[in-house]
Structure 1
Amino acid sequence: MQVVTENNSFTVTWKGEEILHHSPDAPFLFVGKGQENVKMFRGNFDIKDYVTERLALPFIQVRNESDSIKIDFASYPNGPSVVTVQLVQKENEVKLVFVKATENINRFWLRLKANKEEKVYGCGEQLTHFNMRGKNFPLWTSEPGVGRNKSTYVTWQSDVTGMAGGDYYHTNYPQPTFVSSRKYYCHVETTAYADFDFRNDSFHELQIWEMPKEVVLEGANDFLGLLEKITDRFGRQPELPEWTYNGIWLGIQGGTEVVEEKLEKALAKGVKVGGVWCQDWQGIRMTSFGKRLMWNWQWNPEVYPNLDTKIHEWKEKGIRFLGYINPYVAVEGNLFATAKERGYLALNEENEVYLVDFGEFYCGVVDFTNPEATEWYKTVIQDNLIGFGLDGWMADFGEYLPTDVKLHSGEDPMEMHNAWPTMWAKVNYEAVEESGKLGEVVYFMRAGYTGIQKYNTLLWGGDQSVDFTLDDGLASVIPAALSAGMLGNGLHHSDIGGYTSLFGNKRNEELLLRWTELGAFTPVMRSHEGNRPYDCFQFDDTERSLDQLAKMTTVYTTLAPYTKSLVKQNAEKGTPVQRPLFMHYENDEATYDIQYQYLYGKDLLVAPVYDEGVTTWDVYLPEDEWIHVWSGKEYAGGNITVEAPIGEPPVFYRKDSEWADLFGKLKEIK
């Protein structure tokens, strides 16, 4: 990257194009003051801001230092410095370190150069828009919403009954980082509320509700190189344990006897099973939302009698047991009592334990700014999960930190709210690492923020609705995986069948089978019964569904050697397992706006069927020699239509792939 300073301007260029330009006529930096109003209801946030002042800083004074450039920004010529920035240049990187700002400024707007043809990706996990041009994206970890489209009935119902409908930008995992099609990324180091606005043809405007620590711009010659640089910065996920490739993790609830019965039923049908995932291992709580959990993180022998011995019996058969935990403790449990007594829970303004409403039950927030509380919660994981025999778990939530809570450290919860998911991930990571189980135990999270890449062994797409909608159903997990992957979260999966069933929205057999097809071409297959299992179709409800599950889990296990090689690439270089088409076909302009197909590694192209009642599917193939997995027919690229009955999702492999013989075996699977 090159930096040029002259008179009242400075410019940063990458590959001959301006990516940052400041001049009196086009300032880079604006500052101001604002007063936010934040309301939270069960993890859904209503955030409004009243900006009382916004001031452009068009005039600069530049001071060259030995290894950097100091820039003072002022509102009028030769005026006092309002903001001081230190610009540090390396070969392919420019870093703008914010040194100081005038007191009481709490709003910053930064403008980067854009062009009309540019695409942008990232900003965490985005479920509606992979390419974010034309939209703005508030970055605040929260529930993603139910419906997530203001024009739908389910979204409206969710909004009027619980402020929970959501919108296109709501996500469990935001991150103030974007990747440009011009092969650079921009990262803003902050945990405050932010809003990245990509609506203008000539600039991107990044709003941050504090003085950012720094802004990093870094480029590479191709997207693979860029992902390596991104993960050099944020960290990389470790490889998955060997046992994860043995088959699906069957999501089953209801107790030891039910699990045993459903497991045997699946195995008898030839379903390849790597584990059973029982989120109710610590107890069941029924609410109007559906089947919830007790949130007291230890084995419940009343619901799961003999689980302490069954875990080991299943493990001897090659089937691991996975459970569930989150960073909150319910008021009825002994863990809450212990945490309260020791002062490990966050407080309210009256210095009493802050109780958060999670939907007809209340919990305390384990205060991870208190080192003693953090160490205690690690021992809960080590003793009650790992020590009991669990080989994995859902590490749920992390988005619910209230903005009026009092923390042990005294830090502002408005700035800690976004930081919480990564702190929660780190608790899990250190608990596993200190137990010597990293590489053997896997936990999966939905919440995230900057730095989650290093501390989370597996991402999952959160709570989708049990339907075919683009914004909140089956299709939404594809841009979710691609956007998260662009920031170094290359191990992603979703609840097979979705999760949320509300307002008469019920899972049917076709949805479960189509989601199973998608799951076979992700790093991990895991099913979910949903919040209302009794209303939703389950994997063992028909012989047909069991047969299809057997077929697709066999596809998954057959692909295991290939998938392992991709997971290794992710651990070593940060190259995601599920990749946008442009990652390997960057000269094909059409690939930059495709968000419902993906490359599974370099050699497989997957175009999941996400519509109901169809048996053919339109696919775009980049120019190459492609072979349709199920028919063996060859294609050279372009727009095609293929047969896509249930059990034969549109999947193609590169003819000259070193894995072609393995891929050729898939069509023999019945």
Structure 2
Amino acid sequence: MKFRDGMWLVAEGMKVEYAEGVHEITETERGLSLLCPTTRIRSRGDTLNRSCITIDIQAEFDGVISVEATHWGGARRLGPNFDLYPTGKPAVDAKITRGPKGTTLTSGSLSATIHPDQHTFNISLDAADNSKHLTSLASRSVALAYTPAFNNELVTEDMRAIKHYMLTQSTLSVGESVHGLGERFGAFNKVGQSVQLWNADGGTSSDQAYKNVSFWLSSRGYGVFIDHPGKVDLEVGSERSCRVQTSVEGQRLKWFVIHGPTPKEVLYKYGILTGRPGTVPSWSFGLWLSTSFTTNYDEQTVNSFLEGMRERDIAVDVFHYDCFWMKAFRWTDFVFDSDKFPDPKAQIARLKASGLCKKVCVWINPYIAEAGEAFAYAAEKGYLVKRKNGDVWQWDVWQAGMGLVDFTNPEACEWYVGCLNKLFDVGVDAIKTDFGERIPTKDVVWFDAQADPERMHNFYTFLYNKVVYEALQKRYGENEAVLYARSACAGTQRFPLTWGGDCESTPEAMAESVRGGLSLGLSGFAFWSVDIGGFEGYPPPWIYKRWVAMGLLCSHSRLHGSGSYRVPWTIDEDDKTEEGCSRTLSKWTNLKTRLMPYLYQQALESVESSVPVSLRAVCLEFLDDPTSWYLDRQFMVGDKLMVAPIYEESGEVEFYLPKGKWTSFFTNEVKSGPGWFKERHGFGTLPLYVREGTVLVLGSKEARGAVYDYARDAEICLYQVSGGETAKLVDNQGKEIGILEVGADGKVKGTEVLKGEWSVSESGRDVDGDAPSSIESL
């Protein structure tokens, strides 16, 4: 939302009043409270008939300071609110000093300094050791605004027809870039964009997003978390080119400045504030196969899919039943379609016993169709959101007469968990929590009388996913719960995992998805997936195979479509050649299986650090390389592997390697960065480069599926090591079983924890026996 028409004029229909100075500074328990009139006070008469903005600046914990701007403090503080500091708030040591540069509040590594001249409005945020200026609230950067505009203040006697906004503008330095704000599919660097944080079901090819996260990361070593679960409008260098403007409707606007100084440290501290990602089990990293959405399927179809995958040497760890496991017009009533699945419990048990899959997932959403068994009971008990006249809130969008589960009602949550437990009794192990974006804000009454409908819109997804995730934890164990969620807001990273939503079957959509995954990873989410092959449309074989290569290098990998199946033999008429879809999928699935010792160890580290496993933006590892902040077509898997997906049918790809020596995973060819490179690939490879100084543990070539003994028949691959490099080895339950370390003599120590016929490869990995690699340098 823009409040000005260029630099000099106020936008038509807007009345904007800026804090023009700091009239008083009052020390508080953890900081400073600033009284800021919207005019310069030269005489006592200037204090009359003027608005003031109160700015409260508080030390939160080491390197974190909050800033809250308030116009009328008498406004009710309605909920919901973000669940901050879920594991406890760290101790804080707030220091206040006064000197010639002004009044300074210091919180560990971060300081905020108020200009000493009360007529000069400037709050400077800096590294406490004065090593770096981060950002400022400079002249005309904190304001209140009304629309429609008026000339007579008496009209504010009745605010029902007047909208009131609070806005702040933090400065952008020369060359500064901004990233994050959830899963956004446009340009990776958000400078120049208008961004609205409002969850919407808009696909992956628009400015709408399923996962709006009110946190952004700056290339200058800080981040900003906006503590407002409702609609937030940002003008990121798009109203004033040198500022990030944040605005909300209401009387208050609060945000937290988080100093790193590295981006990883920023994400770590953001994790303290809003919560760390949950741990996911090793089986979830294997291949997930779906029925797809509107396709026809029944028990026989499911069996044929899984048997066909086994025949083609493609291990499926999780089978997913999408929407039509329930009858049409009855979603979500939690009842299997008895015509298609006469005995789901027995079928699921047979699938697992036969080894065709390890786990089973089903699709649900929080919308309850009127024709389903669940609606009448939920409506009678008051478990559904209501209209202001007392009716159940219903519409015919998506499902006929659907209502919405009211997760602010504890009894509704308990009922919903009971419905989930019936699924768990049948043998369901994981839940795809779809939707949660179309949450009404008009003519709505929540069970919690303090819940503001506008604030509930984005926050609903937190409550929805929390209920399902904790139900899974209670049934299967704390670290065995897995969601497949589409919507999210700040804090939802605690309930992994998410996927990228409805993308088209095009190379452009694959690139959009990569940008979305990168942005979400810089918003505190450790795990992410995508619909391999694209959701909408019918992918031609070349797109399917390129997407398979990218998708099997995401932290989690799922084959899923809309109106067409994604089993490989339906894509290319069952081409059985080495370059066909089936062999391509088999090779990439088996490669991910071999990478599991590395992937799972990296995943456990990501849970502690709030840094993404994959897709991991290159800037997290190479923050001092300016190019890394603009790389949005490639990503890292953990901190050792660089991946460049291929978006061309020809197999041509251009990618960047930062400073250092990089070894091709497929050929052991070494390239030196920094620099751009071009290659042409067949379907069995892509640019997958290993960082120098890496000890890469690969699992057995004979392993199938993500869960096996990672220490048995392992290959220890050394990449440009010089001594002292290590690799932590964990088992498939996440327990550390040893540390492998390269000695000064180049030999690997700690191998006593390895089992079977393990080996060490001193110059990359052993490529003997691999399928021929078709890689051409251009």
TM-score range, shorter chain: 0.7 to 0.9
- Once the two structures are TM-superposed, the CA of residue 300 in structure 1 deviates from its matched residue by 2.2
Question: Would you say the 8 A contact 1:554–1:669 is kept in 2?
Answer: no
Question: Residue 482 of structure 2 aligns to which amino acid in structure 1?
Answer: V
- Once the two structures are TM-superposed, the CA of residue 459 in structure 1 deviates from its matched residue by 1.1
The number of residue pairs the alignment matches comes to 590
Aligned to 1:86: 56
Aligned to 1:130: 188
Q: Tell me the alpha carbon deviations over residues 624-670 of structure 1, each in whole angstroms, 9 at most, x when there is no partner.
A: 11111223211002111112111212211124211074573578544
Q: Which 5+ residue runs of structure 1 have no aligned equivalent?
A: 1-25, 27-31, 33-48, 149-166, 287-292
| Cα separation, partners in 2 of 1:532 and 1:266, compared to 1, 3 Å | closer
Question: Residue 220 of structure 2 aligns to which amino acid in structure 1?
Answer: R
Q: After superposition, where does 1:348-367 map in structure 2 within 5 Å?
A: 348-359=387-398, 361-367=400-406
2:346 to 291, 309, 334: 309
1:487 to 520, 523, 527: 523
Task: Tell me whether 1:96 sits opposite 2:97 in the alignment.
Answer: no
Q: Tell me the alpha carbon deviations over residues 83-121 of structure 1, each in whole angstroms, 9 at most, x when there is no partner.
A: 322211354221123466266573111011111300111
| Cα separation, partners in 2 of 1:553 and 1:284, compared to 1, 3 Å | farther
| Cα separation, partners in 2 of 1:375 and 1:98, compared to 1, 3 Å | farther
Secondary structure at the aligned position of 2:679 is classed as strand
1:433 to 464, 473, 479: 473
1:69 to 20, 23, 32: 32
| Cα separation, partners in 2 of 1:305 and 1:664, compared to 1, 3 Å | farther
2:440 to 383, 402, 425: 402
Deviates most, 277-286 or 70-79: 277-286
Equivalent-residue separation in structure 1 for 2:564 and 2:590 (angstroms): 28
Secondary structure at the aligned position of 1:518 is classed as helix
Question: Would you say the 8 A contact 2:17–2:38 is kept in 1?
Answer: yes
Q: Tell me the alpha carbon deviations over residues 50-74 of structure 1, each in whole angstroms, 9 at most, x when there is no partner.
A: 9543222213222223532111222
Equivalent-residue separation in structure 2 for 1:481 and 1:258 (angstroms): 32
1:496 to 492, 517, 532: 532
Secondary structure at the aligned position of 1:636 is classed as strand
Question: Residue 362 of structure 2 aligns to which amino acid in structure 1?
Answer: G
> What is the identity percentage for the equivalent residue pairs of Structure 1 and Structure 2?
22
Aligned to 1:644: 681
| Cα separation, partners in 2 of 1:281 and 1:392, compared to 1, 3 Å | farther
Q: After superposition, where does 1:399-478 map in structure 2 within 5 Å?
A: 399-404=437-442, 405-410=444-449, 411-454=451-494, 456-469=495-508, 473-478=509-514
Secondary structure at the aligned position of 1:97 is classed as strand
Task: Tell me whether 1:54 sits opposite 2:93 in the alignment.
Answer: no
Q: Tell me the alpha carbon deviations over residues 160-210 of structure 1, each in whole angstroms, 9 at most, x when there is no partner.
A: xxxxxxx3x210011221110011111111122111111233211111122
2:651 to 581, 593, 615: 615
1:523 to 544, 555, 577: 555
2:372 to 321, 327, 333: 333
Secondary structure at the aligned position of 1:106 is classed as strand
Q: After superposition, where does 1:194-343 map in structure 2 within 5 Å?
A: 194-199=232-237, 200-212=240-252, 214-251=254-291, 254-280=297-323, 282-285=325-328, 294-316=331-353, 317=355, 318-343=357-382
Deviates most, 539-548 or 111-120: 539-548
Aligned to 2:628: 591
2:408 to 369, 372, 375: 369
- Once the two structures are TM-superposed, the CA of residue 81 in structure 1 deviates from its matched residue by 5.4
Task: Tell me whether 1:174 sits opposite 2:212 in the alignment.
Answer: yes
Q: After superposition, where does 1:8-27 map in structure 2 within 5 Å?
A: none
- Once the two structures are TM-superposed, the CA of residue 492 in structure 1 deviates from its matched residue by 0.4
Equivalent-residue separation in structure 1 for 2:269 and 2:636 (angstroms): 21
Question: Would you say the 8 A contact 1:282–1:297 is kept in 2?
Answer: no
| Cα separation, partners in 2 of 1:99 and 1:528, compared to 1, 3 Å | same
Q: Tell me the alpha carbon deviations over residues 342-397 of structure 1, each in whole angstroms, 9 at most, x when there is no partner.
A: 111112243212113334633111111222112211221122x2222111121001
Q: Tell me the alpha carbon deviations over residues 433-472 of structure 1, each in whole angstroms, 9 at most, x when there is no partner.
A: 3324332231111101111111x22111111112222xxx
Equivalent-residue separation in structure 2 for 1:539 and 1:443 (angstroms): 28
| Cα separation, partners in 2 of 1:84 and 1:189, compared to 1, 3 Å | same
2:164 to 100, 106, 112: 106
| Cα separation, partners in 2 of 1:535 and 1:572, compared to 1, 3 Å | closer
Aligned to 1:388: 426
Equivalent-residue separation in structure 1 for 2:259 and 2:594 (angstroms): 37
Equivalent-residue separation in structure 1 for 2:768 and 2:325 (angstroms): 42
Equivalent-residue separation in structure 2 for 1:666 and 1:119 (angstroms): 40
2:665 to 617, 626, 629: 629
| Cα separation, partners in 2 of 1:280 and 1:206, compared to 1, 3 Å | closer
Question: Would you say the 8 A contact 1:555–1:666 is kept in 2?
Answer: no
Between Structure 1 and Structure 2, whose CA radius of gyration is higher? Answer: 2
After TM superposition, the score normalised by the length of structure 1 is 0.83
Equivalent-residue separation in structure 1 for 2:286 and 2:181 (angstroms): 33
Equivalent-residue separation in structure 1 for 2:645 and 2:397 (angstroms): 34
- Once the two structures are TM-superposed, the CA of residue 246 in structure 1 deviates from its matched residue by 4.2
Aligned to 1:140: 198
Q: Which 5+ residue runs of structure 2 have no aligned equivalent?
A: 1-6, 42-46, 76-158, 698-715, 718-763, 772-778
Question: Would you say the 8 A contact 1:189–1:212 is kept in 2?
Answer: no
Q: Tell me the alpha carbon deviations over residues 218-237 of structure 1, each in whole angstroms, 9 at most, x when there is no partner.
A: 10121221221111111122
Deviates most, 117-126 or 646-655: 646-655
Q: Tell me the alpha carbon deviations over residues 21-60 of structure 1, each in whole angstroms, 9 at most, x when there is no partner.
A: xxxxx9xxxxx9xxxxxxxxxxxxxxxx995432222132
Task: Tell me whether 1:561 sits opposite 2:597 in the alignment.
Answer: yes
Equivalent-residue separation in structure 2 for 1:273 and 1:539 (angstroms): 18
| Cα separation, partners in 2 of 1:391 and 1:77, compared to 1, 3 Å | same
Q: Tell me the alpha carbon deviations over residues 293-315 of structure 1, each in whole angstroms, 9 at most, x when there is no partner.
A: 84322222221233211212222
After TM superposition, the score normalised by the length of structure 2 is 0.72
Aligned to 2:152: none
Secondary structure at the aligned position of 2:532 is classed as coil
Secondary structure at the aligned position of 2:514 is classed as helix
Equivalent-residue separation in structure 1 for 2:18 and 2:303 (angstroms): 66
Task: Tell me whether 1:187 sits opposite 2:225 in the alignment.
Answer: yes
Aligned Cα root-mean-square deviation (Å): 2.6
Secondary structure at the aligned position of 1:488 is classed as coil
Question: Residue 72 of structure 1 aligns to which amino acid in structure 2?
Answer: L
Secondary structure at the aligned position of 2:558 is classed as coil
- Once the two structures are TM-superposed, the CA of residue 480 in structure 1 deviates from its matched residue by 1.2
| Cα separation, partners in 2 of 1:536 and 1:294, compared to 1, 3 Å | farther
| Cα separation, partners in 2 of 1:194 and 1:548, compared to 1, 3 Å | same
Equivalent-residue separation in structure 2 for 1:66 and 1:359 (angstroms): 51
Equivalent-residue separation in structure 1 for 2:210 and 2:261 (angstroms): 31
| Cα separation, partners in 2 of 1:534 and 1:232, compared to 1, 3 Å | closer
Question: Residue 514 of structure 2 aligns to which amino acid in structure 1?
Answer: I
